[in-house]
Structure 1
Amino acid sequence: MPSSPRRATLATVAASAGVSVATVSKVLNGRSDVSPATRSLVQSLLQQHDYVAPAPRREPPGLATVELQFDADLNAYSTEIIQGAVAAGAEAGIGIVVSIRSGTARTTAWARQLVAAGRRALIAVTGELTSGQPAALARARLPLVLIDPLNLPRTRVTSIGSTNFAGGLSATQHLLSLGHRRIAYIGGPPAAACNQARLHGYRAAMEAEGAPVLPGYVRSGHFRYHDGMASGAAVLDLPHAPTAIFAGCDEVAVGVMEAARARGLRIPEDLSIVGFDDTQIAQLTSPPLTTVRQPLREMGGVALRTALRLAAGEKVDSHHVELATELVVRGSTAPVPDRG
């Protein structure tokens, strides 16, 4: 049987035209840096050789994606961030890959793996980075954007957050306006930048009103339900228990609610509680939770768009963006109870 004719290649066409393979490739891809005469010759020879471009290789599964990485198990806060990033990614035609950090090692090899998987950028949420980790990403030419970082490395890193100080201030001022003076703060990790800002807002409001922060009234832990329950129990068991508690996030606030109920306290008749974030659980609690709305979906969207701008080589207006917070008053706060 006669052998089937061999398919023409770019090298075949290039040899016939007396040009390089790169020049033929430029013509095929419509590049403008080829002279009209050369373009005409190459196009004619492509037809003469009946050149058919090979079927495109399947792109790696991670192509045109951005990695959205969390440092712990997903919760209501994470869901809001994800929804905002996914919506912005859909508008831009970019996929979002959600991952949870495993271990603490982040090296050059780790950064190269992200690039090899087709990631355009990395968005790290409430994570803690060493100065070497952003450097590893920079060497791999992979842009990094942080959301509510626990710490900011000494190297300049782009980050997205909210007006945490103003949020802490407004939450505490709301409780003070209801007549409360014994107000406790139960927050997250002491070193977390967002927690520090909320705590400073709380202290500023208390100081401005002349309301003392009693010993044991400031507690720290993680932004988790069980931490809120444990710290809430400790605060409510103090000899002079607070009449109101400002919790550093909604999940902590729900834990405080459970600690209060276990002690027979009614909310808000006996104890007022304010949260932070305004996630879905704030509306599902009984009573619904007064909280500071942190624009989490908008933060996810801004982070995604910022990451894509950096990936395209564009400059950003600011390396740190803060979106406005807003107090949302619901049923978990009331005037101070009449008790000693």
Structure 2
Amino acid sequence: MPSEPSRVTLATVAASAGVSVPTVSKVVNGRPDVSPATRARVQELLRRHDYGGYRDDFRGHPTIELFFGKGRLTAYSVEVIQGVIAAGARCGVAVVVGSQVSLDPSPAPADWAHGLVSAGRRAVVAMANTLTVEMIDALGRVRLPLVVIDPLSLTESTVPSVGSTNFAGGHAATQHLLSLGHRRIAYLGSYPDVACNLARLHGFRSAMEAAGVPVPAECVHHAGEFGYEQGISGGGTLLDLPDRPTAVFAASDELAAGLVEAARARGLRVPDDVSVAGFDDTQVAERCSPPLTTVHQPLQEMGAVALRTALRLASGEGIDSRHVELATRLVVRASTAPLP
């Protein structure tokens, strides 16, 4: 057999086997609706071409790697993971959850990527802020498709990603607070260079500007992570201002819940003394006291779309867009009220 090109695609294997690309995709993903003779011929060519390190002993158990970082599981990440796993079950695909904690000490990116191929992974779905540039490059070299959920930056346009309409959500939450008569409204967010945080902040500023309400510099606070502890500390900073805000839009439910606790510690009542709105609509929002007004982003569906996109890429199919944004909506609960 003549030497093969450096990058082998499903189309290459299909042409060699005299079958269609969808047929080769079915063999790669362990689908049963292929005749034994055709399956055997395609499997032999996959091995000859060394397609992504193909191993036919995994043909009945196609798997996707769901990868997240070293941080603790949050209500946000649990929702996304549930969406990926449920979509995998519907598609007949096993989902293996991996983390950087399980890789301590971390292997070299190339060894990690080759390990995923050897373990039979067909693609990788990654939570935001989990992969380094070196890890992304290593996945590309072994031809493992990658899809990122809620990316920290959209500058890497070659990596497919799934997110939500963060700008619209921030705008809707702020409009709600304005409609209640609040004008001294603060923003409590994450790191200033995180893409979803910036979009929510821009939505906040857009609504304030449209209403003709200025936003003093001290009313925008970047607390760091999206967590509960950061909500307590960052919320305390805002509540301790000489001219305290009457309402705060927090960029996550956990930040908002921390802010509610910071208010309680200062003898302030939510929403009587300060209205609080969050973002995500996780179980934290429902179980907070009072329950949080928040922006619902479809976290489980985001995970499901990422899983389906990864499978399409693993099958050699094209995708309509490198970045998909799912719609958000405002959910009004008891943590916001009209300005007294």
Secondary structure of 1:30's aligned partner: helix
**Partner residue, 1:242:** 245
Coordinate RMSD, CA, aligned: 2.3
How far apart in 1 are the matches of 2:278 and 2:112? 37
* Residue in structure 1 matching 2:198, options 196, 199, 202: 196
Q: Quick check: 1:160–1:303 contact (8 Å CA) kept in 2?
A: yes
**Partner residue, 2:152:** 150
How far apart in 2 are the matches of 1:254 and 1:188? 14
Amino acid at match of 2:119: A
Q: Quick check: 2:186–2:249 contact (8 Å CA) kept in 1?
A: yes
How far apart in 2 are the matches of 1:165 and 1:106? 37
5 Å-filtered alignment, 1:248-327, equals: 248-327=251-330
Q: Quick check: 1:66–1:123 contact (8 Å CA) kept in 2?
A: yes
Secondary structure of 2:295's aligned partner: strand
Q: Say which one has the larger Rg.
A: 1
Q: Normalising by structure 2, what TM-score?
A: 0.80
5 Å-filtered alignment, 1:75-224, equals: 75-102=74-101, 107-127=109-129, 129-152=131-154, 154=156, 156-220=158-222, 221-224=224-227
How far apart in 1 are the matches of 2:39 and 2:132? 45
Amino acid at match of 2:243: H
**Partner residue, 2:62:** 64
Q: Alpha carbons of 1:109 and 1:63: their partners in 2 closer, same or farther (altered >3 Å)?
A: farther
Query: Deviation at 1:100?
Result: 2.2
Bigger mean CA deviation after superposition, 58-67 or 217-226: 58-67
Query: Deviation at 1:307?
Result: 0.4
**Residue 30 (1) aligns with residue 53 (2):** no
* Residue in structure 1 matching 2:332, options 324, 329, 332: 329
C-alpha distance after superposition, 1:263-309 (max 9, x if no partner) = 11111111100000000111111111100000001001000000000
| Unaligned 5+ runs, structure 1 | 1-27, 35-56
How far apart in 1 are the matches of 2:139 and 2:189? 31
Secondary structure of 2:249's aligned partner: strand
Q: Alpha carbons of 1:118 and 1:94: their partners in 2 closer, same or farther (altered >3 Å)?
A: same
Q: Quick check: 1:129–1:153 contact (8 Å CA) kept in 2?
A: no
**Partner residue, 2:15:** none
C-alpha distance after superposition, 1:187-211 (max 9, x if no partner) = 1122111001000000111111111
User: In proportion to residue count, which structure has more helix?
Assistant: 2
How far apart in 2 are the matches of 1:153 and 1:32? 40
C-alpha distance after superposition, 1:122-164 (max 9, x if no partner) = 1111225444432221111100000011124535110000000
Q: Alpha carbons of 1:314 and 1:239: their partners in 2 closer, same or farther (altered >3 Å)?
A: same
**Partner residue, 1:228:** 231
Q: Alpha carbons of 1:329 and 1:155: their partners in 2 closer, same or farther (altered >3 Å)?
A: closer
Q: Quick check: 1:61–1:117 contact (8 Å CA) kept in 2?
A: no
Q: Alpha carbons of 1:284 and 1:33: their partners in 2 closer, same or farther (altered >3 Å)?
A: closer
Aligned length: 288
Identity of aligned residues (%): 59
How far apart in 1 are the matches of 2:194 and 2:156? 15
Q: Quick check: 2:83–2:299 contact (8 Å CA) kept in 1?
A: yes
**Partner residue, 1:15:** none
How far apart in 1 are the matches of 2:122 and 2:39? 27
